[in-house]
Structure 1
Amino acid sequence: MTVRRARGRRNAVAVAVTAAATVATALTGLTPAQAASPARAASVADYSFNAAGATLTDVRRITRTDVAAQRGYTGQGIGIALIDTGVAPVEGLTSGNVANGPDLSFESQVANLRWRDSYGHGTHLAGIIAGRDSARGGFTGMAPDAKLLSLKVGAANGAVDVTQVIAAIDWVVEHRNDDPRNPIRVLNLSYGTDGVLSWQKNPLSHAVQNAYRAGIAVVVASGNTGGAITNPAYDPYVITVGATDPLGTTSPADDQVASFTSMGTAPRVPDLLVPGRSVVSLRVPGSMVDATNPSARVGERYFVGSGTSQAAAVATGAAAVLLDRYPALTPDSLKCSLRQSGPSVGTSGGKMIDLDRATASLPTLCRAVGPRSTGTGSIQAARGTSIVSLNGVPLTGERDIFGPLKSSTWAVASKTGRAWRGGSWMGRPMTGTHWEGTQYGQANWAGRSWSGTNWAGRSWSDLAWAGATWNGRAWSNNLVDGVPWSGRAWSGAAWQHGTNGAWKN
């Protein structure tokens, strides 16, 4: 295998990587062959910080991202898709490296909410992944020169159906090369359900595996229940990320697994464990989490949040930095290289990230072998208890928000890249297709406007929802039993007050 760098901003580097044999391992325990590695560069000095909140400067030191940046690796030329609650054009996300994809959320039907992050979750993660201030030396995320594509699926209360997330993943796969200067190589998904359907049959697992087969590394939060890993984080083809508590220092040696992290059981435990407790990132004034958690504000611009969502964002940015260094890495080898860069966290099996070592060493080459998903299982089983409702009527069964949907039909269309046709997904008009300039203060992906179609006035075709029409206000984020839905789907995105004063999402 030959890994080449040939971009004008630095001297082209060609590194020949010789492996005695292709590494073929069981999916549940990717054990890569270790490539030859030069001596590690001198690490930055470790220091203590305010334990109530780790700034991005602290997180970059912990993961040695600052050292990689000194070598010139900042995520340039790498496209990252963030499927979440949108990205607000706040300072730190307006310097030109963030673009809008389609808004597939329920709020897309309300003109003044389209693309807006009314929840605050997506913006917090976007800042961690690729935030950068226009003025040099200001707020800086993990991969400040990567190109971030925002696909909004979650509403102000986090409400989203699993089929909308699947549609968003399909869109990313089919449009991954729209911007040839920044092809999408990494997908961040901090969404998860408690569905117990096996990953071989789960439609959501099938969607992320289709992204993996298209050369996109899918980074997924493990969940915040402290127990079972959520769906699709349990899929062995994704990079599953749990959170550590840095304990107020930038030395990884004292880091512990955060108590809220879903660790699962062997052999499927988080692949990576990175900072996720009390991470300071960008605030969306007036958003749901901002309004309900005022004590989590840090000055006027920032907000502190904890969770495997934040950890997944850290890992996503790290993945883009390593792809900047080795752009020919496959999703498998990217995963193995990140895992091999840092030490284990206790006896958990999860690995820390050390981008100093990763960018100074030859990459670790590996290839996952094993069964693949079919995606033909029940859509309802994929939802688990993550159910949305309209006027008290839950969306359940084998259907999406517009009507009946057969998973076996979708699985074939998704695998062959035919799920989307223009602005329609599986025959349902969901977004626009025409060209425009900018929306909501940000450029659209590849110059296109993807939200020009209005659903308003369309009656839901399923009998269970007969007579209910979308008005942009009637959706509930409650489960049938009254438990807050959004507290589960966004990897436990309740933003509850943590034991150390942090807010947990």
Structure 2
Amino acid sequence: MRRYVAAVAVTAAATTVAALTGGTPAQAGTPARAASADYSFDATGATMTDVRRITRADVAAQRGYTGKGIGIALIDTGVAPVEGLTSGNVANGPDLSFESQVANLRWRDTYGHGTHMAGIIAGRDASGTGFRGMAPDAKLLSLKVGAANGAVDVTQVIAAIDWVVEHRFDDVRNPIRVLNLSYGTDGVLSYLKNPLSLAVQNAWRAGIAVVVSSGNTGGAITNPAFDPYVITVGATDMRGTTAPADDQIASFTSVGAAPRVPDLLTPGRSVVSLRVPGSMADAAYPSARVGERYFVGSGTSQATAVATGAAALLLQRYPWLNPDSLKCSLRQSGPYVSGATAGGRMIDLDRATAQLPKLCLELGPMSTGTGSIQAARGTSIVTLNGVPLIGERDIFGPLKSSEWALASITHRAWQGGEWMGRPMTGTGWAGTQYGQPNWAGRAWSGTDWSGRAWSDIAWSGATWTGRAWSNTLVDGAPWSGRAWSGVSWQHGTGGAWMN
């Protein structure tokens, strides 16, 4: 049985709160303001200015909390060097995706999902004004695992998490304290044995708060969000205003059932973030474009990115918080969603940064990680030319979860550029491109599960011009399989759900 052991939270002096917010203590502590025209936003969607107001990140920024000194790892589809992500606070970690074998696709977001998340988390225009994410002064480290159509195997995600744990102190001025994982599978393997659960728990035990989307099925929470040692995030529908009092749980949010429901509920309906012109999402959903630079998306992925940025702000305020106490402090900061029957509370960074945090400890069993890799995949199966990646193996060959679990727990899964003996990456940082530091790439020497060499795969010469992708799809789109935790690249209730 799991339970939290909590210490008493002490509230900051009311006079201090009033001075910092310009309101009375009651107003400062209560974000539920009456909806009015002053708090409405445009029908095209909630801009990051709107989201920052809803979560009170704007107030936190006035106090100087912008994520400075906090490293955030984003395991996703990569980050494109679009305006808003080239001002010096983004770095490219290793590319573990299928596209890593093509030099001009390496690190680049051919799908559009990772860039949208990056903008929400830590976007920052170089001018000092303009577009701002939740934590614009945080350091964002991008690890690409998803290809142009979103294809990724669970073992690639596990390898990426292991890498983050191993390299969390590479940048000593911005150690990785938060991991954003807008990924989920529908596998029903218990978290007590699930390899993916062990991977996120290892990060949690290493002092990295893992923020995970609950899923977009409207029902059961996906994995690894079901694990109790993560911060599970559902999405709210802001209903066109920045007044939290009228917010509702978004209809697509996977709300689960007691005892595992979302820990936090943050804005996730029609969020405007950065666009990757010519990417898969951009080409498929032209109606989601907002001007030349922006794109509107809905999903628990977006909500997770909001919560990740919020976590960075609170860690800057209280850098000694461990993941358990960070989770408790965020959960207690905001109001409950009106009329909600399941799920957590919203975030109020005004309150969270003006009071001492809540100290707590998660008690309960941990995962062994020795369960079936195939069961951890669920129905998220990657195929190449009709051949599915199934069974107890990764993209290179047989893989025993028990052997991996021991290596991961003891931080031996990565040895230089090899993960579990597979040559996956280079061994260090190798210059910059588009102003972003890059981890060295490497051509895989192994063969894929159908017995063909990776170098035999034909790619269609996609190119990045600095503003847009051209011919972005791989030739014949041989990779299939979509495992991202849902995103609708269309305003309103339409769009395509990617699970």
TM-score with structure 1 setting the length: 0.88
Report whether the alignment pairs 1:403 with 2:403.
Answer: no
Equivalent in the alignment of 1:390? 384
Report whether the alignment pairs 1:379 with 2:340.
Answer: no
Q: Name the CA shift for 1:48/1:501 in 2 (closer, same or farther; >3 Å).
A: farther
For residues 49-88 of structure 1, the C-alpha deviation after alignment (integer angstroms, 9 at most, x for no partner) is 1243000000000000000000000100000000000001
Correspondence list, 1:50-449, <5 A: 50-345=42-337, 346-444=340-438, 449=439
Q: What root-mean-square deviation, in Å, do the aligned CA atoms of Structure 1 and Structure 2 show?
A: 1.8
Q: Name the CA shift for 1:499/1:124 in 2 (closer, same or farther; >3 Å).
A: closer
Output the CA distance in 2 between the equivalents of 1:374 and 1:115: 32
Counterpart secondary structure, 1:436: strand
Counterpart secondary structure, 2:185: coil
Output the CA distance in 2 between the equivalents of 1:472 and 1:263: 41
Compare 32-41 and 279-288 and name the one that shifted more: 32-41
Counterpart contact for 1:391–1:476, Cα < 8 Å: yes
Counterpart contact for 1:304–1:502, Cα < 8 Å: no
Counterpart secondary structure, 2:427: coil
Opposite residue 376 of structure 2, the aligned amino acid is: A
Output the CA distance in 2 between the equivalents of 1:218 and 1:459: 32
* 1:441 Cα offset (Å): 4.2
Report whether the alignment pairs 1:466 with 2:460.
Answer: no
Q: Name the CA shift for 1:435/1:82 in 2 (closer, same or farther; >3 Å).
A: closer
Output the CA distance in 1 between the equivalents of 2:490 and 2:431: 41
Output the CA distance in 1 between the equivalents of 2:284 and 2:400: 39
Counterpart secondary structure, 2:108: coil
Q: Name the CA shift for 1:343/1:435 in 2 (closer, same or farther; >3 Å).
A: closer
Q: Name the CA shift for 1:258/1:431 in 2 (closer, same or farther; >3 Å).
A: same
Opposite residue 58 of structure 2, the aligned amino acid is: D
Output the CA distance in 1 between the equivalents of 2:42 and 2:235: 18
Counterpart secondary structure, 2:430: coil
Opposite residue 423 of structure 2, the aligned amino acid is: P
Opposite residue 450 of structure 1, the aligned amino acid is: A
Output the CA distance in 1 between the equivalents of 2:495 and 2:84: 22
The runs of 5 or more residues in structure 2 that have no matched partner are 460-475
Percent identity between the two aligned chains: 77
Report whether the alignment pairs 1:450 with 2:440.
Answer: yes
Output the CA distance in 2 between the equivalents of 1:34 and 1:340: 12
Equivalent in the alignment of 1:4? none
Output the CA distance in 1 between the equivalents of 2:231 and 2:278: 33
For residues 443-497 of structure 1, the C-alpha deviation after alignment (integer angstroms, 9 at most, x for no partner) is 13xxxx331x2026x433x5xx23464425476444xxxxxx32xx11024x364
Output the CA distance in 1 between the equivalents of 2:458 and 2:435: 22
Opposite residue 139 of structure 1, the aligned amino acid is: F
Output the CA distance in 2 between the equivalents of 1:86 and 1:233: 21
Counterpart contact for 1:244–1:276, Cα < 8 Å: yes
The runs of 5 or more residues in structure 1 that have no matched partner are 1-25, 479-484
Output the CA distance in 1 between the equivalents of 2:227 and 2:42: 36
Counterpart secondary structure, 1:198: coil
Opposite residue 303 of structure 1, the aligned amino acid is: F
